[in-house]
Amino acid sequence: MTALPVSLDDRAVLPGDSRYPLLRSTYTTRHSPAVVILARSHEDIREALAYARKSGLEVAVRSGGHGLSGSSSNDGGLVIDLSEMNGVRVLDRGARLVAIGAGARWATVAGVLHAHGLSISSGDHGNVGVGGLATAGGIGWMVRKFGLTVDRMRSATLVLADGSVRTVDDRSHPELFWAVRGGGGFVGIVTEFVFEAVEVTAVTVTQLTFEGAAATDALARWDAIMRAAPRELTTTIMLHPDGGVLTVVWAGDDIPAAEAAIRPLRRLGRRPSGGKLQVIPYAALVPGAHLHPNVGQMPAVTRNGMVDELDTTVQDLVLAAATEPDLMMQLRSLGGAMFDVVADATAFGNRHQSALVIATTFAPSTWATLDRRWAPLEPHFTGAYGNFESRPTVASLRLAYPAATRKRLRELKSRYDPEGVLRALP
C-alpha cells in the first residue's frame, strides 16, 4: 500500500488500531479494509479519493453501516466513513428546513427534531444512517402521509468522484439532484442534506394480531383496505405460518380518526383483534436505544419486491414462504403521498405499487430456502427497493430502477464517475 498522505494521518484507522474492530464491518457483513478514513471535511474525502486512486484501492462509502448488502465496507480497500459528519441543525423553523450530516443516525435526527416540534419520516430503525437511506429512498412509518424520505429533500451537498464539491437542488445541477434522490450512492458522496421536515411529532400506534390468514384472505383484504385508507395510516405485517402481527401507525394524535381507519383491519383474522391505541412521540419509533456499533452482528440476507396489487395468488405464495422456519416474511403498505411524485421526478421510479414484500433469512441458513420460495413470487413483482436487497444483481437492479431511470443513471455515472470509483451500477 502506498504511504498515506500526512494530511490523512490523524483521519486514518488501520488494522491494529484499537478503533479498527468497531469500524471494519457493517451490520450484516464482516470485513477487513486496508484503511478506514474517518472524514470530517470535504477536503478529507477529496484526499481519501485521490489516495485510493493512486494506490488502486477499492472505495466504499459508509454513513451508518446498516446497508444490507455490506457495500459500505470491503476487504483490502479504503472505507470513507462519514460518521463524524453528523450534525443536525434547524436552518429555518418557519420553513421547517433542517440540515443533516450524512453520518447522523435517524434516532439522533428524530430526537433533535422532536425538541423543535418537527420530524422526518425515515425508516423503522434508529440506528440506520442518514446517508445510505436518504440516497436510496426511505420507506418509513409515515410514508403514506409524507412520502419517501427523498421526497422531503430540498438540496444536497456531495463530493464527486473527481473530488469536486457540488451543492445540488432543483435549480443547481438538477440532474445530480434527481440522481441523489434514489440513486445517490452511484454518483457521489453526499455529506449533507437539507430536508423540509413536517410538524407532526406524535403518532398513534397499535399492534393487531390475526390468525387464519389464508382462510380469511387476510393479506389480500389488508392490501385492499390499505389502498382505500386515509394517508395518515401506514402499516406493516410480520407473518407467521397461519397469520401475523400488524403494526399500525397513524401520523398524528387524532385517536377517533385513527380508530375509524383501523377498524376494518381488526377483522382480518378469524377473531377480531383488540389492540389498544396509544399516542407516542414519533421519536419513540426510532429511539436512541437502537443505537449501536455495527460489527457484522446480524449476518442476514434480504430480498424484496413490490406488487401492484396483493391478490390471493400473491397472498398464497407469501404465506407458503412464511411456513419456512428460517424465513422472515414482512409486508409494508405503500401509496398515498409516495404516489404524488411523478415516477421520473427522482431516481426512485417505483411510484405505483401498493405493497412491498420483504423476505429475510438469518445465518446459518443459506440463500437456498429464500431463493426457492422467492422464485414463484418474482413474476408478480413490478418493482423493488434497492435498499432491501442483499445481493444486487442485474435483475434486482432492473426491478429497483425502471428502464428510463436506469438509462439516466448510467449517463450520469459515465459523466460524473467515468472510472467507476464509487458504487458500481450492476
Measured CA to CA, the distance from residue 191 to residue 222 in angstroms comes to: 39
* Nearer Cβ to ligand FAD (57/220): 57
The binding track of 79-118 with respect to ligand FAD, each residue x by CB under 6 A or -, is ---x-------------------x----------------
Under the binding rule (CB under 6 A), the answer on residue 129 touching ligand FAD is yes
The contacts of residue 284 (CB under 8 Å, 6+ apart) are none
Instruction: Give Cα separations from 395 to 304, 380, 387, 399 (angstroms).
Output: 12, 14, 15, 7
In the numeric block, the cell 446517508 is attached to 131
Near ligand FAD in 381-410, by CB under 6 A:
387
* Nearer Cβ to ligand FAD (123/402): 123
* Nearer Cβ to ligand FAD (52/60): 60
Instruction: Give Cα separations from 176 to 196, 286, 378 (angstroms).
Output: 19, 29, 31
Which amino acid belongs to residue 368? A
Under the binding rule (CB under 6 A), the answer on residue 190 touching ligand FAD is yes
* Nearer Cβ to ligand FAD (201/304): 304
Q: According to CB under 6 A, which one of 71, 201, 315, 390 is a site residue for ligand FAD? A: 71
Q: Which stretch binds ligand FAD (CB under 6 A): 137-145, 240-248, 371-379, 411-419?
A: 137-145
CB of 367 to ligand FAD, least distance (A): 17
* Nearer Cβ to ligand FAD (26/201): 26
The binding track of 139-178 with respect to ligand FAD, each residue x by CB under 6 A or -, is xx--------------------------------------
Measured CA to CA, the distance from residue 220 to residue 214 in angstroms comes to: 9
Near ligand FAD in 240-269, by CB under 6 A:
none
Contact 234, 333 (CB under 8 A): yes
Measured CA to CA, the distance from residue 383 to residue 398 in angstroms comes to: 8
Strand duo 233-240 + 35-38: pairing:
unpaired
CB-side exposure of 164: number of CA atoms within 13 Å?
7
* Nearer Cβ to ligand FAD (73/220): 73
Contact 405, 183 (CB under 8 A): yes
Q: Which stretch binds ligand FAD (CB under 6 A): 128-136, 170-178, 202-210, 390-398?
A: 128-136
Instruction: Give Cα separations from 28 to 69, 297, 299, 336 (angstroms).
Output: 8, 6, 4, 31
Q: According to CB under 6 A, which one of 13, 27, 145, 318 is a site residue for ligand FAD? A: 27
Q: According to CB under 6 A, which one of 131, 336, 349, 383 is a site residue for ligand FAD? A: 131
Which amino acid belongs to residue 330? Q
CB of 10 to ligand FAD, least distance (A): 21
Q: According to CB under 6 A, which one of 4, 11, 49, 72 is a site residue for ligand FAD? A: 72
CB-side exposure of 70: number of CA atoms within 13 Å?
20
Q: Which stretch binds ligand FAD (CB under 6 A): 56-64, 112-120, 211-219, 341-349?
A: 56-64
Which amino acid belongs to residue 44? D
Near ligand FAD in 323-352, by CB under 6 A:
none
Under the binding rule (CB under 6 A), the answer on residue 65 touching ligand FAD is yes
The contacts of residue 106 (CB under 8 Å, 6+ apart) are 122, 123, 125, 126, 127, 128, 129, 130, 133, 286
403-416 helix and 174-187 helix, angle to the nearest 10 degrees: 80
Residues engaged in binding ligand FAD (CB under 6 A): 26-27, 60-68, 71-72, 82, 102, 123-125, 128-129, 131-133, 135-140, 184-185, 189-190, 387, 423
